[in-house]
Amino acid sequence: MTQVVLASHNAHKLEELRRILAPLVPGIELIGYDGPEPVENGVTFEQNALLKARAAAEHTGLPAIADDSGISVDVLGGCPGIFSARWGGPARNDQANVDLLLWQLSDLVDEHRGAAFMCAAALALPSLPAPVEGNEGTESHEVAVLEAWRGSVLRAPAGEGGFGYDPIFLPEGETRSAAQLTAEEKDAVSHRRRAFTALSTELLRRLP
């Protein structure tokens, strides 16, 4: 088994990604991380995911994966976007984030409530030796991919499952919010599933 670190202190996310990656990348053991977390000062989901993966790989000496995700609302020009976790203010509270977004969209008709859950998934390998002279084409030891899960913002929360903005996100083609889907249903179609499915080809290619 090849050990891979998930650059997150979130036990819920660790279990979710274990479920997602198990059939996609046989032979890896996804383990938790308790090391330092970097300042997420990137300006894109991909940059922030790479910051987290890079920090975990450097701290542990193991391959590391990370994600950065959030909700992007069309009429808000893609916001909250990378600021999704802090949208409601310094408390960084899920309920405050949801309440503020619902208030901001309260006067909009349904056709203008389009949104997407976004997820960037990143892989960082431990630092590699500098390429020898004449072999500057050595492959990068970092990669990130970005995927989206389209839907719209509901007028009120629905469902007790999930976390974050799940209770107010209605996926395309669904009559239930993301919080009303079972874990298995969400795993099969979510932005995180799509991003890590795309990243799995890089994991299979780059890991021993």
What is the spatial distance between Cα 103 and Cα 107, in angstroms, rounded to a whole number?
A: 8
Would the CA dihedral through 43, 46, 48, 54 be positive or negative? negative
Closest CA to 56 of 122, 142, 124: 124
CA angle 82/147/138 to nearest 5° reads: 95
What is the spatial distance between Cα 187 and Cα 16, in angstroms, rounded to a whole number?
A: 8
Active-site residue (options: 34, 67, 68, 107): 68
Establish whether 68 is a catalytic residue: yes
For residue 126, give every residue at least 6 positions away whose Cβ sits within 8 Å of its Cβ, in sequence order, or none. 57, 58, 61, 62, 63, 141
Give the catalytic positions in this structure.
68
